[in-house]
Structure 1
């Protein structure tokens, strides 16, 4: 079992390390040139906080790629990404998303990191389409089919965030591990995979959080949902407070004392930036403009916590 974190997180603008030690660089907002395989560009407007995050490895790294699917790993974890063009989403969103996740799940066992721990999906035109034809609902169908076909049950689903981004196409970014993590559910919320039919033909296939063997809590995109219903429609201030209650409930459900490392706040309306209390959230807090999966939800947060006492 891994006892120490298999990476170091830095939010410096440009840490003094060579590219051979970078597991992942996350860049928010605008960036020039073509990204490296280990660089994730969210494509979301940057409103506040760190614009870049560096996940640095102290141990050797290996690159894996099959076409446009890329993955960089050390012995314990890896980060990768796969882009889906707009033409594929328009032709058959569910099928193209199913194929993308199937490719990822097929690659992971060949790298020695068979467990899909976390996924981030930045989805253009997330609310396009009516009813079950909405792009987000079609995405959920495709992802659910791929995870089921791979033999994953709910306890093995990854933590996840799905956010609408400006522009076309989609980017699936993911984290894989040598060891499985422990799924943690929120007692205040219905498990996403148990949502009723009103939210679409395929419930979202993710868990609320993953507790890792190296003492971290990886929290999915979390919003003002209690049970399965959205609370405080269109009221960003009230939704932020409800979201913080959900984050606290997850930390309590995971047991122990958890210290914030990073939080990403996705805000639908950039004019409401002043409502985000970054100091109260703690750790490195980036605020981005993005569309949450339900139109009435104005804000969503994802978080990473480390058990107190771990370096």
Structure 2
């Protein structure tokens, strides 16, 4: 049964479904679909190997529209688009074979890992497709790959991913500091590098959190390339205003806090989300962005921590706020959980 009401919005809507709805092309008005579950398998739905917590079976993340949809491929990239928004997905399956260290045990920039190469390849393909299709502005990107905290080739795989991603941004003259898209990067059980995204013809407004150092300004201790994402993004489409909150965790300044305490990390994460909502309200000159206006995807590193995380969220979020829990590794080994959130509000018509 659906986890959320599913009225079709004029342009774009997001739903989390717990029943098998089939591949994207089988669902009327489907723009894109991503399945979260215990294992990945080769189907036309992008499948992310992250077990769902708190319920039986997989969860389908479904993006829908009542606008005409056109689909196509460019190399490994699959896309579907309306006149205003584009959903794309790409997977490079062989990055899991990146094991071992180079001679001497150190990272060699002249011999990039498979994951680093794949990350650059994926983002170059995404940017090329957006330019050719006429949707130049990334709104939100989701990145998943296995072993995110594992050291291979002399460096943690998350840091390798950041190098490849930013190198692509640089080569294509894309903003990788201010005005970078909202994004997240999570560790899966298998499946290679899997990326999906939303893009549009008009740029979003990047939102930062004054409690945190912007990720793209992190100090050198977090790797030779900083993460290329904004804390959140506001996107205005026809009749809609979307808020995409990036993967948010228990970080103050640039440091992880509350090590080993999953409840305290969850509380801190909610404080960061509340600040982002305040920043979004300030930017949009509204008070409408609230915790109740969002849908939440909650990543929990250890399944044993699920009940603790859920109890904190149940105490702070209204019962009607949709939340989906999956087991996934967070980009820092000392972070036990992370939350992303997405919301859509109607844009008042002129004169109303």
- TM-score (norm. length: structure 1): 0.90
Does residue 137 (structure 1) correspond to residue 159 (structure 2)? The answer is yes
Deviation at 1:85, TM superposition (A): 2.4
Equivalent in the alignment of 2:34: 26
Provide the secondary structure at the position in 2 that maps to 1:201.
Answer: coil
How many Å separate the matches in 2 of 1:199 and 1:5? Answer: 42
Comparing 153-162 with 133-142, which one deviates more in the overlay?
153-162
Deviation at 1:113, TM superposition (A): 1.3
Deviation at 1:240, TM superposition (A): 0.1
Structure whose alpha-carbon radius of gyration is higher: 2
Deviation at 1:87, TM superposition (A): 4.6
- Picking from 93, 98, 101, the partner of 2:123 is 101
Equivalent in the alignment of 1:190: 213
User: Given that residues 115 and 193 in structure 2 are in contact (C-alpha distance below 8 angstroms), is that contact kept between their aligned partners in structure 1?
Assistant: no
User: Given that residues 20 and 61 in structure 1 are in contact (C-alpha distance below 8 angstroms), is that contact kept between their aligned partners in structure 2?
Assistant: no
Does residue 281 (structure 1) correspond to residue 317 (structure 2)? The answer is yes
Counting only pairs closer than 5 Å after superposition, residues 76-225 of structure 1 correspond to structure 2 as 76-87=84-95, 90=98, 91-129=113-151, 133-153=155-175, 154-213=177-236, 214-225=240-251
Q: How many residue pairs are counted as aligned between the two chains?
A: 306
Provide the secondary structure at the position in 2 that maps to 1:179.
Answer: coil
- Picking from 284, 296, 303, the partner of 2:334 is 296
Deviation at 1:20, TM superposition (A): 4.3
Q: How much is the aligned-residue C-alpha RMSD, in angstroms?
A: 2.5
Deviation at 1:212, TM superposition (A): 0.8
How many Å separate the matches in 2 of 1:62 and 1:89? Answer: 35
Deviation at 1:67, TM superposition (A): 2.6
Distance 1:261 1:11, change over 3 A: same
Distance 1:264 1:103, change over 3 A: same
Equivalent in the alignment of 1:9: 14
How many Å separate the matches in 2 of 1:80 and 1:142? Answer: 19
1:124-151: CA deviations, max 9, x gaps? 1112216961111010001011112221
Does residue 232 (structure 1) correspond to residue 238 (structure 2)? The answer is no
1:26-59: CA deviations, max 9, x gaps? 21114786422xx332211000368223211101
Q: Which structure carries more relative contact order (alpha carbon 8 Å, separation 6+)?
A: 1
Deviation at 1:78, TM superposition (A): 1.6
- TM-score (norm. length: structure 2): 0.80
User: Could you list the runs of 5+ residues in structure 2 that have no partner in the other structure?
Assistant: 1-8, 99-112
Deviation at 1:15, TM superposition (A): 6.9
Deviation at 1:286, TM superposition (A): 0.4
Equivalent in the alignment of 2:76: 68
User: Given that residues 122 and 170 in structure 1 are in contact (C-alpha distance below 8 angstroms), is that contact kept between their aligned partners in structure 2?
Assistant: yes
